[in-house]
Amino acid sequence: MTTTRALLDEGVDRLRAAGFETPRLDTELLLAHAIGVERTAVVANGEAPAGADAEATFRASLARRADGEPVAYIRGIKEFHGIALAVDKRALIPRPETERVVDLVLAEVMTRLTARAGAGTTEPLRVVDVGTGSGAIAIALAVGLRARRVPADEVAIAAVDLSAEALDLARENAVGHAVGDRVRFEQADLLPPTPPTAPWDVVAANLPYVRSSAMASLPTPTTFEPAEALDGGPDGLTVIARLMDALPDGLAGDGAAFLEIGADQGEAIVALASQRLPGWACQVATDLAGLPRTAVLRRPVA
Ligand SMILES: C[S@@+](CC[C@H](N)C(=O)[O-])C[C@H]1O[C@@H](n2cnc3c(N)ncnc32)[C@H](O)[C@@H]1O
């Protein structure tokens, strides 16, 4: 019987020889997935036999990884903002940088709920995740609000995408996290034409922002993801610019929009906002590495 350590060594050697950046992490994740245990258990029990079925599954996974397929698609799972989301080729694999958008939107929603407390408001806050993909932002937000004991009827969350396949996956994830009652899914081009009763209070969006000319040189794992989730047009900001155009009508007077951008698009997004939304405030929030990652747009106070 082959031990887990022998399989780990085999996997690391194969992925290292193929030039992968994180051969040990990838191998541990794939072997743990094949055996059906946590990664730490694989590392801690090197002398344990893996079992014939797990060995065959692991070798098949390793071959897929060696061909460049992302580990998340092979495992069918990606951790995002403290939750595990199902992922497959129907949608982009959620990235760690998008957790920043969730944090900013959660803080915004909690501030607004606190400000409204005692004001006798019965209408829910209306939040929309535009380009939801796997449902990452909307579902993490719903889970975060539930953890903060915010009743489901205080915040109405909508999640939209152009892709029907992505929306199917997002619905499955919402059910998996028991927030199907907190998130409404809809197929739409950017903002749905008629918000339920009034404009949106908070817009969150991680839309495509890769320049079309850069699509051909994306790293191999990224080529397994849907192109329409990545291609942001000639300047990378074409889809985001269209969303900006929809904000004057779609966003409430005191609303706010949180848009993820590429790490090299900080200056470009400020210039675009001043062009498309003259007079609006556009602040760019940075990530932990100090890189510009989220544009926050607010209408001027009348
Ligand atoms: C970069 S992916 C982000 C997915 C998800 N929000 C995340 O962070 O993992 C962009 C998503 O926007 C969707 N999308 C692209 N253009 C759109 C449009 N005009 N209206 C709605 N969704 C769009 C794509 O189908 C894709 O699911």
Q: Taking residues 95-111, what's their average pLDDT?
A: 97
Q: Residues 47, 182: one domain?
A: no
Q: Residues 132, 230: one domain?
A: yes
Please give the pLDDT value at position 89. Answer: 96
**Cβ neighbours, 10 Å, residue 18:** 12
CA of 158 to the centre of ligand 1 (A): 14
Contact in structure between 230 and 222 (CB atoms under 8 Å)? yes
Please give the pLDDT value at position 197. Answer: 62
Structure tokens at 232: 């942001």
CA of 183 to the centre of ligand 1 (A): 16
Residue 94 Cβ inside 6 Å of ligand 1? The answer reads: yes
Query: Tens digit of pLDDT for each residue in 157-183?
Result: 999 999 999 999 999 999 999 999 999
Query: Tens digit of pLDDT for each residue in 227-243?
Result: 999 999 999 999 999 99
Residue 76 in any domain: the answer is no
pTM listed for this prediction: 0.94
Q: Which of 162, 230, 231, 259 to mutate to test the pocket of ligand 1 (most atoms within 8 A of CB)?
A: 162
Atom of ligand 1 nearest to the CA of 80: 9
CATH number of the domain at 52, please: 1.10.8
CA dihedral 143, 82, 8, 37 (to 10 degrees): -50
| Residue 47 lies in domain | 4-67
Confidence of residue 59 (pLDDT cuts 50, 70, 90): very high
Separation between Cα atoms, residue 166 and residue 130, nearest integer Å: 12
Please give the pLDDT value at position 91. Answer: 98
Closest CA to 194 of 165, 160, 168: 160
200-205 vs 125-130, strand pairing mode: parallel
pLDDT beyond 60 at 289: yes
Instruction: Quote the number of domains for the chain.
Output: 2
Please give the pLDDT value at position 196. Answer: 58
pLDDT beyond 80 at 118: no
Q: Residues 61, 176: one domain?
A: no
